Structure 1
Amino acid sequence: MTSSRKFLFCILPLCAALGGAMHAQAATPDLLLSTPATPDAVEKGMQADGYSLAISAYNWGYPLVRMERVAREYTKVPSPKPDTSYRAGLNQIGWATSLASPSAKDMPTANNDTYYMSAVLDLTEPYVLTVPDTHDRYYVVDVFNMWQELEHYVGRRTTGTKAGKFVLVPPGWKGELPKDAKRLDVSTKKIWLWGRIHVKQGEDVAPILALQKQFSVVPLSGKTYKDEMLPALPKTDDPLGFFTELAAALKDNPVKPADSALFAQFARIGLTDKGFSSDKLNPATRKGLEQGLKDAPYVAIASLASTSEVRNGWNWVTGLDSFGYNYPLRAMVAGPYLGGQGEHEAMYPIRFTDSKNQPLTGANQYEVKLASAPPVNAFWSLTMYDASDKMLVDNEISRYKVGTDTQGLKVAADGSITIPISHKKPQGENAANWLPAPEGGFYVLLRLYQPSEDVLSGKWQLPQLNKVN
């Protein structure tokens, strides 16, 4: 074979491959090269830019805005204070002294298993958190930064139930700390302590109320800060008012270095570290921004589906204490699931549909059959919520959940537990386990406190939810 023929023999396959690649490239048009820079195209582009940046900025910044709102709401104590309220003044601990009920509107998707605790701290200096010996009673105090990121757990699973002291140290602080306390560094100047202590149905609550009084937070210096209040958030009727709130929140909560490149993009819509100004916005950009702020919550809501797995019809979401760059999920949790914990502390499988993938409604009757009580290291409950407001459902027997502590819970001989779900009281052998539903749409949440590895791995399977009428 001549050298020229050898060359052709070798090059032909390459030419064929290149030709195929060029053909594939030609099949995908380069729209940037073919789009004319006409006034119409520029206007369309500016609107799209505003729209995409609004969605990005909202899902990134919503948790901060939400937490700043919560910091003010939860330090505004009503008079008289309801038993279900955990509000307290700034730098003070507030405890609910009654389990959440349909009338308790502070917390969406509230549990009916624990008394809640709240404390908003403005760390002008370190604060010492003191906890009592709860004698193995489940409790947890979550330490959230102002991005609704859970930075520390204090409680039964992580630090035990003996008495202890923990020093909450703000960023940049230097100095001596008590030797009998554990240091907990936080990343924002303000933080939110969100606590829970288990209450068994029907038990004498006097010892629990006594325990509550032994939790305290005090400044390291011992200084007394009297009648402190956080400054009011800016209010505006502008459809772009969210950005004004976000800019105000960023004054006290600097952008993290990891987010600096993302945040720099928002300068195109007038949001910088100096504030927010819409004065130079093009009308097309403004239009895109306004529509983007309307659609951005849908992106957060969709994150629950896109970042969770579905286990036998239940949305199974992990990573609530390690969001990483999943800003839409962080926004979603900061909204209707504010204060949610990581999977080792508690799991929250949530269910919106039946086994036929139809939305749950009180117009139907359903049944959940657990093969056994969930294998957890603390306790479990299945709780009912009204889909319209994410609150507990008022009902004739004042039952909002079925679980470990349900009095008269019927367990079959094989260890299974069947829970009827309906608006009207059911008949039959499992009527004692009835979980009342509203007339309209609802969802249920299965709380698994300190779940075992069998739960986390899926070895213990979640029950199906079947329509039975």
Structure 2
Amino acid sequence: MSIRTMRRALIVAGIAAIGALSPLVHAETDDALLTMPTSQENIVAGLGTDAYVNGVNAYVWGYPLVRMERIAREYTDVSGAQSATSYRAPLNQIGWARELATPAAKDMPTANNDTMYMSAIVKLDEPYVLHVPDTKDRYYVVDVFNMWQELEHYVGRRTTGTKAGDFALVPPGWKGKLPKGVKRLDVTTSKVWLWGRLRVNDGEQTGPLLKLQQQFTLRPLSQMNNKNYKAPAAKLPPLPATGDDGLGFYRQLAAAVKDNPPPARDAALFAQLARIGLSAKGFDPAKLAPPQTAGLKRALEDGPKVAVSALATSAVQRNGWAWATGLDAFGTDYPLRALVSGPYLGGQGEKEAMYPLRSADANGQQLVGSKNYVIRFKKAPPVNAFWSLTVYNAADKMLVDNPIRRYKLGTDTQGLKLNADGSFDVPLSATQPTGPFAANWLPTPKGPYYMILRLYQPKEEALSGAYALPQVDEVK
């Protein structure tokens, strides 16, 4: 027996002995702690439960950071062939998709089919200047995310307009002065993710848009006026290997925290994680007893369920649609932040875009391709930009392959049939329907699926709930 094991056994035995000698005070009360023996059985059970509880907290709180650090490496990996829908680019460079997302685009779960995406992972050794061109009122937005997947700034049509401009991404602690005309955007982590969207109208020729993309530039402040600047080759160091003991998430979280210190509001929460071997110094599972290790593994099974539960605790239910607000102001709603950073990575606040989500019909039954449905719009969603309705496979959260290559229906869908009063129906089915609204068909997969109704720059009528989201009825 090792000295450490012997010492631990003696301590446990001593505590148990003290518990055995102590009188059972207040035994008549319902205070379980006052009457609970400090037996080895209870101590072992407590260690496992404590590790489980802290493990769940570590997952729900830390998942966005781990996810973003993984994404930072994934989206800067251009070692393989890049498809036209890919927006990957080397570190400190802008990458643009050259085509709209299709079912073959696997980088982004729940991708839209409305905009070409832009991505840039920026390591801020100094401020970086993002130059945006005049888009002549064309919708675009560039979101500035910190490494906790918190949206700190918008650059785009709604907030800064569509004229040309320069925006400096300023890292924590930088004390310098910016040139005149450059807008300062302070960020809270030393790396950021720029996540952009550029509107593509249905059937539009993309040649001019590809030229417009090239007018978005990203340069260090020291190279701001160097038109010939080319970013040097650079890579982020790899995250720790997950290993084969089932505790890899905690290793990666500890490594990510070293580069991204927890904000002050989370200091107390983070301090609790020292009991499971996770601190600013790293993660040391060697110090854990077997019940603690088991508790941490079980936490990784249940943590994702806690994140998914945010749809019930943080989302408003409107006529069968779940609408989560505050995607740019999570505060301490860690389950919602975790959920968004996973399958809904890059989601925006409701003033920029609404994302009502639906996976059940009017009777509360899961939407499945073996049934036919109809969505009845009394009128088009009220927006200052555009709207779209998109279907996704429930299993992989990807767009649905279909024979007419229609992945969404929206503002500019060609041939969309409306009634005289502006109302319209949208058939949902895995096979092409017939009838008066067949032209409005939105294809579905054969299995379970869900939908997102996107409203870009929604009007107050939509934000307030005055606009009634449409019902989804099964068609027998």
TM-score by length of 2: 0.92
**Aligned match of 2:240:** 234
Distance 1:79 1:250 in 2: 29
Moved over 3 A (4+): 25-28
**Aligned match of 1:248:** 255
Is 1:354 the counterpart of 2:361? The answer is yes
How far off its partner does 1:79 sit? 4.0
| AA partner of residue 75 (structure 2) | Y
- Secondary structure of the corresponding residue to residue 458 of structure 2: coil
How far off its partner does 1:26 sit? 11
Distance 1:451 1:28 in 2: 56
How far off its partner does 1:410 sit? 0.5
**Aligned match of 1:4:** none
Counterparts of 1:57-96 in structure 2, within 5 Å, are: 57-96=58-97
**Aligned match of 2:285:** 278
- Secondary structure of the corresponding residue to residue 377 of structure 1: strand
| AA partner of residue 392 (structure 1) | L
* Contact map agreement 2:27 2:34 (CA 8 A) in 1: no
| AA partner of residue 72 (structure 1) | R
Residues 403-435 of structure 1: per-residue CA shift (max 9 Å, x gap): 112110011111002100000111001000000
How far off its partner does 1:80 sit? 2.9
How far off its partner does 1:225 sit? 4.5
| AA partner of residue 254 (structure 2) | A
Deviates more, 1:77-86 or 1:210-219: 77-86
Residues 305-336 of structure 1: per-residue CA shift (max 9 Å, x gap): 11111100000110000000011110100000
Is 1:420 the counterpart of 2:421? The answer is no
**Aligned match of 1:97:** 98
Distance 2:186 2:128 in 1: 11
Q: 1:458 aligns with which of 445, 452, 465?
A: 465
**Aligned match of 1:371:** 378
Residues 205-232 of structure 1: per-residue CA shift (max 9 Å, x gap): 1221111000010000117641100001
Distance 2:119 2:79 in 1: 14
| AA partner of residue 81 (structure 2) | P
Q: 2:305 aligns with which of 289, 294, 298?
A: 298
Structure 1: segments with no counterpart, 5+ residues: 1-24
Distance 1:178 1:433 in 2: 52
Is 1:141 the counterpart of 2:147? The answer is no
**Aligned match of 1:432:** 439
How far off its partner does 1:172 sit? 0.3
Q: 1:322 aligns with which of 329, 347, 352?
A: 329
| AA partner of residue 234 (structure 2) | E
How far off its partner does 1:251 sit? 1.4
- Secondary structure of the corresponding residue to residue 378 of structure 1: strand
**Aligned match of 1:199:** 200
| AA partner of residue 234 (structure 1) | P
**Aligned match of 2:217:** 216
Distance 1:134 1:248 in 2: 40
**Aligned match of 2:345:** 338
How far off its partner does 1:35 sit? 1.6
Distance 2:451 2:163 in 1: 34
Distance 2:34 2:377 in 1: 59
Distance 1:465 1:296 in 2: 31
Distance 1:51 1:369 in 2: 46
- Secondary structure of the corresponding residue to residue 450 of structure 1: strand
Q: 1:313 aligns with which of 275, 297, 320?
A: 320
| AA partner of residue 362 (structure 1) | G
- Secondary structure of the corresponding residue to residue 161 of structure 1: coil
**Aligned match of 1:186:** 187
**Aligned match of 2:404:** 397
Residues 67-111 of structure 1: per-residue CA shift (max 9 Å, x gap): 000000000125432110000000000000100000000000000
Give the direction of change, closer, same or farther, for the CA distance of 1:190–1:237 in structure 2 (3 Å limit).
same
How far off its partner does 1:286 sit? 1.1
How far off its partner does 1:176 sit? 1.7
| AA partner of residue 233 (structure 2) | D
Distance 1:289 1:228 in 2: 35
| AA partner of residue 34 (structure 1) | T
Structure 2: segments with no counterpart, 5+ residues: 1-25, 224-228
- Secondary structure of the corresponding residue to residue 58 of structure 1: helix
Counterparts of 1:106-125 in structure 2, within 5 Å, are: 106-125=107-126
Counterparts of 1:39-54 in structure 2, within 5 Å, are: 39-54=40-55
Give the direction of change, closer, same or farther, for the CA distance of 1:28–1:454 in structure 2 (3 Å limit).
farther
Deviates more, 1:37-46 or 1:383-392: 37-46
- Secondary structure of the corresponding residue to residue 251 of structure 2: helix
| AA partner of residue 129 (structure 2) | V
- Secondary structure of the corresponding residue to residue 271 of structure 2: helix
**Aligned match of 2:39:** 38
Work out the number of aligned pairs and report it.
Answer: 445
How far off its partner does 1:365 sit? 0.2
**Aligned match of 1:7:** none
